[in-house]
Structure 1
Amino acid sequence: MPRSRSAAKPFGGGRRWDRLVLLACAASALVVGLASPDHTSQKVWGLVGAAGYACAALVAARSSTPWARTPAVVAVTGAAAIPLLYLSVIGRAQMEVGVVERAADLLFSTGAP
């Protein structure tokens, strides 16, 4: 049975809310990054996250499908994975990054986090 057009469009109508949501996320991450004190991990998370969300918004703007998978992958990569890896490598990670690192070590050494 074919899907109805209204079921494929989140929030109803033909408006593209994905770009607006991603831009709002970029703006809020930028505010966090700019408002955080210098040399803190929150500043890195905010500034890098803002760039990640902005890139995802650009990808969403070029996508013909609302709420496509590629902008979501770009957002997660730019706003979570890259700052996590960067802060882990330089040793300035937040406390919860150590938990993730330990789980990864256990996963690779024992097969269970």
Structure 2
Amino acid sequence: MTIEFDDFMKVDIRVGTVIKAEPYPEARKPAIKLWIDFGPEIGERKTSAQITNHYTPDSLVGRQVCAVVNFPVKQIGKFMSECLTLGFADEEGGIVLIRPDQKVSNGQRLH
């Protein structure tokens, strides 16, 4: 299926820096709670990500990640997720996060 460019532009994918990360043992599937700084226009957003195969909370703080920032807020257990962190599944199904290969300003939109 093909889409129009305007359809793609409806998905607001931004880069941000993880400023806080905590285990989320109450989640149904192993997850980590993330607080991400998307710069002054968007600010800080939080999310829950099932990324425990490759990451620990300590390894994520300071790392830039890409996320969709214009989905509605979603409740995940007792935690409200405000964005969707993006990644690809490896051969075993573990998620590998998408991030820029050089540092860029928080809040930049994917072009």
The TM-score by the shorter chain falls in which range?
Answer: under 0.3
From the CA coordinates, give the structure whose radius of gyration is larger.
Answer: 1
TM-score normalised by length of structure 2: 0.24
TM-score normalised by length of structure 1: 0.24
Larger RCO of the pair (alpha carbons < 8 Å, separation 6+): 2
